[in-house]
Structure 1
Amino acid sequence: MRHVVASSFDASAYLGALPQFAGQLPTGAARFATDPGHYDLAGSRCVKDLAVSELLHDGPAGTVRIRYAGNPWKHDEDLIVQYTGVTRLDVDAGDPSEGSGKVYGPGLIGHIMLDEILPAPEGCRHEIAGHRGRVVVVCADLTATWVRVPRPDDPPPGSWTPVLALGDRWHWLGRTPDGTWVVGVPHRRADPAEDSLDTLLEVLAGSWPATARRWSGLPPQAPALQTIVRHALVCGDWRARLALEWLEQGLPMSEDLAGALQVVQDDRRYGQRERHRARRLWKSYRRDAGH
C-alpha cells in the first residue's frame, strides 16, 4: 500500500492525499473511496473487521465479485464489491488466482485490516489487507453495495420501533407495540430499558443541555435521564465523572441523586477530585432544599 498503514489501522495519510487524486478515480471507485464511513474505524460501514466470504473470478468476462461478511459485533450488513474490466487479480493467501470461474471460500485472508483504492492506467487498483494475506484487483471500475443479512436471532418484523439514537453508532432507544421501552440495534434484538442501563450510559458522552433537548421529545414514560445519571454515579470510573459533569451543567437534582452523591463522596474508590465535586453538589442541593 502506498499511503495506508494497514497493520496499525492508520489511513490518515491516505485521507490526506485522497482529495488530490479522487478526481482521477472511476465513478464507482471514487464514490466508495470517499464515503465518510469507509475509514470510520468504529462505524458500521467501515471495511475494518469484515471478512471475505466469497470471491468469484470470471476471467473471460473480466469480472470479480467479492462478498465481505460483516462482523456481528460491528456490522449490520455485508459488503459486496463488483469489479468490471478486471485486468489483474492477485490473491496472496496460498491459493492461485488464475483461471475462469474460480470461487474462493470463507476466511480467505482473515479479517480485513484496511484497504486502499488508487488510480491506475486501467482505471483503479484496489488492495485489501487482511490479517492472513491480501487481495489486489486492478480494474476499469467497481461498485460497492451494502446489503443487510438476516440472522437467526433477528426478532420478527415490527417487534420494536427505534425512536432515538443513543449516540454510539449502533444502539437506539425504542418501544415495543405494548409500549415497553427497550434498547437495541435496529433490525436486531432489543432488551428492556431497565436491563440496559449500561448501554444507556452512552448518552452521557453528549452534554446535558444537548441531550435534554433530544430527550424532550419523548413521552414521560421514557427512561428518565436522572435514572441513567444515578446509575453512572454508582458505577464509578469515567462514567461517574461524566455524571458529575451533567449535574454541574444543571441536571435537576433529586433525593435519589443526592443519595448517590453521598455514596461517592464517602467512597475512597473514587478519586479525591470526584469526591470533592460530589460533596459540593450534595451540599448545594441540601442547602437549596432547606436542610
Structure 2
Amino acid sequence: MKYVEAAWDDDHQGFFTDATAYLAALPELEGALPPGARAFASDADHYRRNAVRCVKDLELSDIRIATDKSGTLTLEFAPNQWKHETGLRIVYQGVVHFAIDYDHEIDWMRSDAVLLDELLPADDGGCVHEIALTDATITVRARDLQAVWAEAPDTAGAE
C-alpha cells in the first residue's frame, strides 16, 4: 500500500496499523476516485477503530468471480463478533485485475481478518483497492465498486 501501514510488529507480537497518511491524502484523492469507491473510502467510520462500520477486523468469508466475463467480483466479509453488527459485501464492476497473495505466516488464526485497506485512483479512471489481511493481501483493479454493510451469507456448510 502507498499510504496505509499494516504489518506484523515483532517487538509487540501483534499487528501495527496506521491510516494517518492515507486520511491526510484522501481529500486530494477523492476527486479522482469513481463514485462508489469515493463513498466507501470517505465514510467517516471506515477507519474509526471502534465504529461498527470500520473495516478493521472483518473476516474474509467468500469470494465470487463472475464466469460470464462481466468483470464482476464480489468479496464478502463476516462481522467480527466483538465489533461489528453486520458484515460487508463489496461488489466490483469492470474488474481488470484480481490477486490474492498469501503469506502463510499467521497460521494460528481461523480465518483471514482485515487489518486495513486503501483505495487509490487508477490511471484509467477506475480504482485500485488493496486490502491487507492477517495472512494475505487482496488487490483489485476495477471500474468502480459498491460497498454494502449487510448480513454475510452463511458459508459454514460450504467447507
TM-score (norm 1): 0.46
- State the secondary structure of the residue aligned to 1:137: strand
| Percent of matched pairs sharing the same residue | 42
2:28 is equivalent to residue 20 of structure 1: yes
Give, in whole Å, the separation in 1 of the partners of 2:32 and 2:115.
25
Give, in whole Å, the separation in 1 of the partners of 2:123 and 2:152.
36
Instruction: Give the superposed CA RMSD.
Output: 1.9
Give, in whole Å, the separation in 2 of the partners of 1:139 and 1:11.
22
- State the secondary structure of the residue aligned to 1:31: helix
Residues 137 and 48 of structure 1, relative CA distance in 2, 3 Å threshold: same
- State the secondary structure of the residue aligned to 1:21: helix
The equivalent residue for 1:114 is: 116
- State the secondary structure of the residue aligned to 2:30: helix
Deviations 1:176-228 (A, max 9, x none): xxxxxxxxxxxxxxxxxxxxxxxxxxxxxxxxxxxxxxxxxxxxxxxxxxxxx
Moved over 6 A (4+): none
**Cα offset for 1:149?**
6.0
Give, in whole Å, the separation in 1 of the partners of 2:102 and 2:29.
30
**Cα offset for 1:57?**
1.2
2:32 is equivalent to residue 30 of structure 1: no
Alignment of 1:95-110 (within 5 A): 107=111, 110=112
2:94 is equivalent to residue 91 of structure 1: no
Give, in whole Å, the separation in 2 of the partners of 1:3 and 1:149.
29
Q: Quick one: higher RCO (CA 8 Å, sep 6+), 1 or 2?
A: 2
Deviations 1:67-89 (A, max 9, x none): 00010100000100000000000
- Which stretches in structure 1 are left out of the alignment for 5+ residues? 95-105, 152-291
- State the secondary structure of the residue aligned to 1:35: coil
- State the secondary structure of the residue aligned to 1:42: coil
The equivalent residue for 1:42 is: 50
Match of 1:54 among 62, 74, 80: 62
Match of 1:127 among 91, 116, 130: 130
Equivalent residue letter for 1:13? A
**Cα offset for 1:93?**
2.5
The equivalent residue for 1:2 is: 2
Give, in whole Å, the separation in 1 of the partners of 2:153 and 2:138.
27
**Cα offset for 1:9?**
1.4
Equivalent residue letter for 1:126? H
- State the secondary structure of the residue aligned to 1:43: coil
The equivalent residue for 1:137 is: 140
The equivalent residue for 1:80 is: 89
- Which stretches in structure 2 are left out of the alignment for 5+ residues? 8-15, 104-109, 155-159
**Cα offset for 1:150?**
10
- State the secondary structure of the residue aligned to 1:6: strand
Give, in whole Å, the separation in 2 of the partners of 1:149 and 1:63.
18
Match of 2:149 among 146, 150, 161: 146
Equivalent residue letter for 2:42? T
Are the counterparts in 2 of residues 32 and 38 from structure 1 also a CA contact under 8 Å? yes
- State the secondary structure of the residue aligned to 1:144: strand
Are the counterparts in 2 of residues 76 and 149 from structure 1 also a CA contact under 8 Å? no
**Cα offset for 1:42?**
1.3
TM-score (norm 2): 0.82
The equivalent residue for 1:252 is: none
**Cα offset for 1:143?**
0.2
Q: Which structure is larger by alpha-carbon Rg, 1 or 2?
A: 1
Are the counterparts in 2 of residues 117 and 126 from structure 1 also a CA contact under 8 Å? yes
- State the secondary structure of the residue aligned to 2:18: coil
